[in-house]
Copies of this chain bind each other. A is one copy, B any other.
Amino acid sequence: MDKLDAMFFPKSLAIIGASNVPGKWGFLIINSILGKGYKGKIFPVNPKQEIILGLKAYPRLDAIPEDIDLAILIIPARLIPDALRDCIARDIHAAVIITSGFKEAGEVGAALEEEITEIARQGDLVFIGPNTMGIASEYNNLEAIPAPMGANQGGLGIISQSGNLGLQIMQWFAHKEIGLSFYSGTGNEALLKANDLLAYFGYRDEVTAIAMYIEGIENGREFKEIARQVTKKKPVIALKSGRSQRGSKAAQSHTGSMAGSFAVYSAMFKQTGIIQVRTPSELLNIAGAMAHLPVPRSNRVGIMSLGGGWGIIAADECEDAGLVLPKLPDDIIKDLDTHLPEYWNRSNPIDIVGESDPDMYIYIMEVLARWDEVDSIIALGIVGRSGYLQDFIECQEKIDGKLFSRELKLSLLKDQLKSERRVITEMARLQDQTNKPIIVVSLAEGGLSIEDTEYGRSLSLSTPEEAVNIIAHMVHYRAYLDHP
């Protein structure tokens, strides 16, 4: 764990193969590190340049006058063995080897990979890679990856056996301003494996949930042991690709490792409490939600909606996913009778038939949240109507005999956003007080989004099926926690 701390929390780092040539990896990596605002010391190493991206460059590692915690290597494969020996001579114990052209490139590369692994072992150095797109450690302001993300600090850790896919998922999170703790592309896993990173992310308190993209795990027994320990403390959400024949073949050729039977992986995930998802967008939604929401006690859901159709769709999705919609008891019906229009539907999902008073939403949500028979709540179409209001304002602009002044329109929009913000804050309060997840479905574009409130995070999604899918996965995790 100490060496992995040096990897993810280095106070200084050397970039061997740093470059001033835009587009080269040696440029892209240092560019991201600088852009993210890494606070430690950066020593670019390049025998032909004196300055790289404004920093003093060194011709060789041994020319650097200070201690170095981490080396990032971006030089041709055949130069890596000597470079690793230099690292060891400089008392460096952690490295990230970005360079490709090893096992994935054929026999010669495989031999070279064995050689560098042996050098590292002998020299007490651990490395990630080779053939990785890098690592990120947001609490250390470090993004040693070719694509700068500028991600927020937060609870999610990402481990990916595909660099391209891993960085894409990281970009999704970053663009949605969902906070991240660590990212690691694992590359060829010559020395450090996905297993080691899982153990490390499990051990670090910054991490509240772990998202994994898996093509193949070499040591299944060890993986199970680690996973069992980690899932006790925090949710691990895994996407295992290669479930089809063709996909499995493609995975083998991609990583060079045996992908193994998909069913074996599914069984392993089930036994160890890992939440298995099918697609990268599911990985985004489930991991994003589980890093921020309480886990429900069981599978009973209360739904409120602004219109009948959406409630029906949500009910269908719940039943498909094994979730239960308890019937409203008489005392709740009686209570809501005094708040809702006479013709309300008196069942769960509660259809509030187009009413638009935020106090009423909040009241109903409070009744649902305090109701002992439900464990989580979905609120459909209550928040997210500002899109309609904006369309309305644009429409008014086009009308000769329009009734609204610019000021009035802006104040309408402001009021709407304020009222939505209030509903969201009250939801977060109820979520915090009752420890039941409350998920907003905006029905607007944009997918997963997370808002900070004084009571914690509030989660919203675009569609009921996304919300139901999240709750269903949480319920499976709860079942595992209750009976591992």
Chain A residues within 8 Å of B, Cβ to Cβ? 20, 22, 31-32, 34-37, 51-55, 104-106, 147-150, 160-166, 168, 171-172, 174-176, 213, 215, 241-247, 249-251, 253-255, 278-281, 306-313, 315-320, 325, 343, 345, 347-349, 351, 354, 381, 387-388, 391-392, 394-404, 443, 445-447, 462-465
Contact = CB atoms under 8 A, between A and B. Distances in A.
A246 B318 contact: yes
Contact of A387 (B20, B175, B279): B175
A148 B250 contact: no
B148 A394 contact: yes
Given A35-B395, A147-B388, A150-B391, A280 B313 contact: yes
Given A53-B401, A105-B343, A313-B279, A320 B31 contact: no
B318 A148 contact: no
Contacts of A161: 309
A97 B463 CA distance: 30
Contacts of A463: 279-281
A177 to B, nearest CB: 12
B318 A244 contact: yes
Given A31-B395, A34-B400, A247-B313, 13 more contacts: A20-B403, A22-B403, A35-B399, A37-B398, A53-B401, A54-B400, A165-B307, A166-B309, A168-B381, A168-B443, A250-B315, A250-B345, A250-B351
A241 B314 CA distance: 9
B162 A309 contact: yes
A85 B394 CA distance: 37
Nearest to A465: B279
A465 B213 CA distance: 16
B404 A22 contact: yes
Given A147-B388, A395-B150, A446-B445, A381 B164 contact: yes
A176 B392 CA distance: 17
Contacts of A404: 22
| Ranked 3 nearest A-B pairs via Cβ | A54-B401, A164-B307, A162-B309
Contacts of A398: 34-35, 37
A345 B253 contact: yes
B32 A395 contact: yes
A402 B34 CA distance: 10
A163 B308 CA distance: 9
Contacts of A242: 312, 316
Given A150-B391, A351-B254, A445-B175, A247 B401 contact: no
B165 A309 contact: yes
